[in-house]
């Protein structure tokens, strides 16, 4: 084999072995299934991680966030309400030394408010769950996990689509590998 052919082969192998970007869908046939998904993802998150949530009113964004935060609360023995931040815009929690920011941007007035809230700093230091994330515009963290929820085939079903850069593909691997996790 020529050196050139070998180089092409190496390049092909390199590309093929690279982790792809994440694009994964789950059908949650009930609120409890969405809760289970959130509980599976909860332990994967570390400070500096952000989940950007989008989807229409009533899609289950708050349901997912609440389940995830409550899972982390129970890990550190905290029992607290997780109210919707739709009026306050932000609800923050200190859970075992890790800050959690639950954000709802539906009522965001001026994009300047994002800076005033300190959200850009929180993206680097806290675990942030942001509902109506599309309102962040260009301020969306590039390395975030994006979760889009949409109505499913039945009243209590939701389609959850997870997208994100390759590192999220690696982290969510237990969810993605067929046969390992049954959420339906
Ligand atoms: N499979 C499901 N997953 C999640 N929630 C579901 C599901 N099926 C039904 N629901 C219900 O849908 C509702 C979702 O409400 P939720 O407040 O989470 O929506 P939201 O996307 O945050 O809306 P908003 O844009 O108003 O903030 C809840 O009452 C929840 O019980
Ligand atoms: Mg909500």
pLDDT confidence tier of residue 109, bands split at 50, 70 and 90: confident
Q: Which residues pair with 25 in a beta bridge?
A: 161
Q: Is 54 in the pocket of ligand 1 (CB under 6 A)?
A: no
Measuring from atom 24 of ligand 1, which residue has the nearest CA?
57
The larger pLDDT score, comparing residue 36 to residue 1, is at 36
Pick the CATH number of 20-176 from 3.40.50.300, 1.20.1250.20, 3.40.250.10, 3.40.1390.30: 3.40.50.300
The overall average pLDDT reported for the chain is 91
Q: What is the mean pLDDT of residues 86-100?
A: 95
Closest CA to 66 of 30, 32, 97, 98: 32
Instruction: Establish whether residue 34 lines the binding site of ligand 1, counting it when its CB lies within 6 angstroms of any ligand atom.
Output: yes
- Which ligand neighbours the alpha carbon of 149 most closely? 1
CB of 62 closer than 6 angstroms to any ligand 1 atom: yes
Domain residue spans in the chain? 20-176
Distance from residue 177's CA to the centre of ligand 1 (Å)? 26
Could you read off the pLDDT of 35-53 as tens digits, one per residue?
Answer: 999 999 999 999 999 999 9
Q: What is the pLDDT of residues 122-168, one digit of tens each?
A: 999 999 999 999 999 999 999 999 999 999 999 999 999 999 999 99
Question: Which residues 6+ apart lie within 8 Å of 6 measured at CB?
Answer: none
Structure confidence by residue, pLDDT tens digits, 2-16:
888 877 777 666 555
């Amino acid at each position: 084999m020529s050196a050139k052919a070998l180089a092409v082969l190496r390049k092909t192998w390199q590309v093929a072995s690279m982790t792809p970007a994440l694009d994964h869908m789950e059908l949650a046939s009930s609120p409890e299934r969405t809760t289970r998904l959130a509980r599976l993802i909860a332990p994967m998150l570390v400070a500096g991680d952000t989940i950007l949530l989008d989807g229409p009113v009533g899609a289950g964004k708050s349901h997912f966030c609440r389940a995830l935060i409550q899972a982390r609360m129970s890990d550190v023995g905290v029992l607290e309400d997780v109210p919707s931040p739709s009026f306050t815009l932000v609800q923050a929690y200190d859970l075992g030394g890790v800050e959690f920011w639950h954000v709802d941007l539906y009522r965001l007035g001026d994009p300047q408010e994002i800076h005033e809230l300190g959200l850009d700093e929180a993206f680097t230091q806290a675990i942030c769950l942001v509902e109506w994330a599309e309102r962040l515009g260009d301020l969306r963290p590039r390395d975030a996990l994006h979760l889009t929820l949409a109505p499913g085939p039945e009243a209590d079903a939701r389609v959850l689509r997870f997208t994100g850069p390759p590192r999220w593909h690696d982290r969510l691997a237990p969810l993605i590998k067929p046969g390992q996790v049954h959420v339906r």
